Structures are given as C-alpha cells and as structure tokens.
C-alpha cells in the first residue's frame, strides 16, 4: 500500500516514536475513549488497541480501510469510513466524550483543530502530529510571529504543550518538513464565556485578517467609538494581544 498524495499520506515507520505519541494520550478516567484520525497502516493503532480505552478510527481512504482489515483484523468494527471534517462527532461514541489523536494530514490539520474546538464539550484532550510550524503556532504566545487565529481560538479552551519534534526520516515517504507533536488539555474553565464565543471568534478572525494594521483600523465595525478612541489596545497589532485581551474587547463590543 503506497501513500497517496491526494490524502496527504506520510506513513510513520518508527515504532519507538509511535509508542511515545500514543503514550502522550493521558488516561481520562471520566472519558475512557479514543478516536484516531487517519490511522494509515496502523502503527499508532496497534498501540491504541492494547490500551484499556474504547477505540475507534476514522479513515477517508477506503483502500486503506481494506488494508487495515486484512493486516490488522483487531480493527474489525472499530473503523469509520469517511472524512473526519464531515463526520458527526456526536455519533462516534453515541454522544460520549473521547480523546482525539492522529498523525494529522498536513493539508487539513488546522481544520481538524478548528473542528475540535467547536466540539470541545466532547473532546477533553487532543494529541496530534502536525507540520512543525503549525504545531508551534498552536502553542505560540503573544508577540510571536507565529501567534495568530489558530493560537488564540485553541488556547481560549485548551492548554497546549509542545512535546517533541519528529524528523522527516521517520516517515515513508519522508515529508519535506519537520513535524511536531503537541498535547492539548481542555481547560476546566474556558477563558471565553460560552455566550460570547461567536462574537469572540469573529473579533479574532477580523483582527488577524489584516494583522499588519493597528486594531483601531481593523475593529472599527465591531467596537464602540469610545473604545476605538481611548482603549490602549487600539494602538497595537493583533499579535500583541493575549487571549484574555481579546476576551476583554469582546465584552466591550457586547455593550454597544
């Protein structure tokens, strides 16, 4: 089974790294279930099947599902044929929560995270391998060149930790970039009140839509005139604001 470019497949071949990645999924006593995205040839899957948690995997490549069923018969009844981005996550474990894990396809990895954030009530933990630049962006702090929409929206609900870097030689075929593994743990209390989430999301996306401009120019349609004139953050660019700063501005916008 050869990797398909159309699915962004790069098969991890290093079993030692596979063991480290799956071990990074910390046991969740109140949520003993794991969903793997894109199992490929099952190098992570083999370790996950040995764990006590209930396990399922979603795979878009039907040829790969057939390969897994032949070479890893323990996956019988545990494979979901389909695109994770189109999957109704409420149906995976009948509405029950689960940890999310994957060697995520680079071309849709950000979209996978955005979907996880939108379904955060179901997903207390995410462990994933990304292109290194994306992994670093997810956990970046204010002032960093890599800090952006993905950083803020993820960190509003999850605490992130960069775990380790994976070199191209650990894959077949090797990608042209390094990879990074991160773990996200859902906050006990989100930084954004649930009722303000839609407005917060719009605020962040609007601000970073023109990240070189000061906020007084990009947020003029979202904030009261007094805030635009007097708030010190209006003299800054979006990458200079923390998640809490964006929350505060969203509260200001709700008082218009």
pTM: 0.94
Report the pLDDT value the prediction gives residue 3, as an integer from 0 to 100.
55
Angstrom distance (rounded) from CA 8 to CA 129: 13
The fraction of the chain above a pLDDT of 70, given in percent, is: 96
Summarised one tens digit per residue, pLDDT across range 92-151 is 999 999 999 999 988 899 999 999 999 999 999 999 999 999 999 999 999 999 999 999
Q: Is the pLDDT confidence value at 231 over 80?
A: yes
Residue 204's pLDDT band (cuts 50, 70, 90): very high
Q: What is the pLDDT of residue 173?
A: 83
Q: Is the pLDDT at 72 greater than 90, yes or no? A: yes
Domains of the chain: 5-186 (3.40.50.150), 194-253 (1.10.8)
pLDDT of residue 18: 97
* Confidence bin at 14 (pLDDT 50/70/90): very high
Q: What does the pLDDT look like over 42-55, one tens digit per residue?
A: 999 999 999 999 99
The 3-state secondary structure of the chain, one letter per residue:
CCCCHHHCCCEECCHHHHHHHHHCCCCCCCCCEEEEECCCCCHHHHHHHCCCCEEEEEECCHHHHHHHHHHCHHHCCCEEECCHHHCCHHHCCCCCCCEEEEECCHHHHHHHHHHHHHCCCCCCEEEEEEEHHHHHHHHCCCCCCCCCHHHHHHHCCEEEEEEEEECHHHEECCCCCCEEEEEEEECCCCCCCHHHHHHHHHHHHHHHHCCCCCHHHHCCCCCCHHHHHHCHHHHCCHHHCCHHHHHHHHHHHCCC
């Amino acid at each position: 089974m050869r990797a398909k470019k159309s699915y962004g497949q790069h098969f991890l071949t290093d079993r030692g790294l596979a063991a480290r990645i799956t071990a990074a999924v910390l046991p969740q006593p109140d949520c003993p279930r794991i969903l793997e995205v894109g199992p490929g040839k099952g190098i992570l899957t083999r370790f996950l099947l040995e764990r006590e948690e209930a396990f399922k995997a979603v795979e878009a490549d039907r040829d790969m599902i057939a390969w897994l069923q032949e070479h890893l018969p323990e996956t019988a009844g545990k494979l979901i044929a389909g695109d994770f981005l189109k999957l109704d996550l409420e149906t995976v474990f009948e509405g029950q929560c689960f940890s999310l894990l994957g060697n995520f396809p680079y071309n849709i990895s950000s979209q996978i995270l955005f979907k996880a954030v939108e379904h955060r009530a179901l997903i207390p933990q995410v462990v994933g391998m990304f292109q290194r630049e994306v992994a670093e962006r997810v956990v970046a702090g204010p002032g960093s060149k890599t800090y952006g929409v993905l950083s803020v929206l993820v960190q509003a609900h999850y605490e992130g930790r960069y775990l380790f870097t994976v070199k191209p030689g650990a894959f077949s075929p090797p990608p042209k970039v390094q990879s990074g593994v991160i773990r996200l743990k859902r906050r006990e209390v989100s930084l954004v009140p649930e009722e303000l989430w839609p407005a917060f999301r719009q605020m962040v996306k609007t601000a970073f839509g023109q990240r070189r401009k000061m906020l007084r120019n990009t947020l003029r349609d979202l904030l009261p005139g007094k805030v635009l004139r007097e708030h010190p953050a209006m003299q800054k660019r979006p990458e200079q604001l923390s998640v809490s700063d964006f929350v505060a501005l969203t509260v200001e916008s709700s008082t218009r």
